[in-house]
Amino acid sequence: MEREVVRAAADYAEETLDREGFQYVSAVVANCKMLAVELEEQGEDTGALDMEALILAAYLHNISTAAHGFHDHHLASAEMAVDFLRELDVPPQRISRVEQAILAHTTAIPPEQRDAVLLEGRILYDADMLGRLSGLAVVTSLIEFGTRYPNHTLTSEVLVAMLRHIEERFVELYQSLNTAPARERAREKFSNTLAFLDGIIEYLGDATPV
């Protein structure tokens, strides 16, 4: 692996993103490495995997969000990543794999179509989704709701509806994971989060407005 290029990508991400954003992409990088190793240990054919392209994509997959937000960020981040890597004279084939992985990282892939997507893209998607299957993600969703609708009256009924929506979304995320190691890693976290949500929903069923 070309350490200089990877280091440059990490530095670029750190300079471009805020502290929280860079911590998140660093966690995604760690997840990518873990999933790649576990796929190989489980006997999966990873011969076509370009590990450097995967790590570069993991560092660069959110770089547009600081300036442009998360709407269609996979498109803007892929474009920024391509421009950045060209300046470093990274081989075109590797740049293409980075670009394709970033473009694929936000979209759930139907099982029958997964083989048509580069392994780098499938791993990056899973690594990104693993960070969203936790109780912390529930808290983040509630905070985002409060920020978006600051004058909205918050009742137990509204909270229950929100939590049921989050619960449904978590089920969809879990079912969308591409690789066996990601599903195994997510299973315990997923079960704990659903139990957490079910407990809150049950409690709110008899709660008074807040």
Beta carbons of 28 and 61 less than 8 angstroms apart = yes
- At 145-155, the pLDDT tens digits run 666 666 766 67
Q: Determine the Cα–Cα distance for residues 131 and 138; give it in Å rounded to an integer.
A: 11
Ranking 72-76, 154-158, 175-179 by mean pLDDT, the lowest is 154-158
Question: Mean pLDDT over all residues of the chain?
Answer: 85
Half-sphere CA count of 82, side-chain side, radius 13 A? 14
Report the largest interatomic distance among the alpha carbons of the chain, rounded to a whole angstrom: 62
Provide the pLDDT confidence category of residue 139 given band limits of 50, 70 and 90. low
Map tokens 């240990």 to a residue: 41
* Residues ≥6 apart with Cβ < 8 Å to 167: 194, 197, 198, 201
Q: Say whether pLDDT at 40 is over 60.
A: yes
For the chain, the three-class secondary structure string (H helix, E strand, C coil) is CCHHHHHHHHHHHHHHCCHHHHHHHHHHHHHHHHHHHHHHHCCCCCCCCCHHHHHHHHHHCCCCHHHHCCCCHHHHHHHHHHHHHHHCCCCHHHHHHHHHHHHHCCCCCCHHHHHHCCHHHHHHHHHHHHCCCCHHHHHHHHHHHHHHCCCCCCCHHHHHHHHHHHHHHHHHHHHCCCCHHHHHHHHHHHHHHHHHHHHHHHHHCCCCCC
- pLDDT score for 205: 66
- At 55-66, the pLDDT tens digits run 999 999 999 998
Average pLDDT on 133-141 reads 62
Q: Determine the Cα–Cα distance for residues 91 and 158; give it in Å rounded to an integer.
A: 52
What share of the chain in percent tops pLDDT 70?
Answer: 83
Please, what are the domains in the chain? 3-204 (1.10.3210.10)
- At 73-117, the pLDDT tens digits run 999 999 999 999 999 999 999 999 999 999 999 899 888 898 889
Q: Say whether pLDDT at 183 is over 50.
A: yes
- pLDDT score for 154: 63
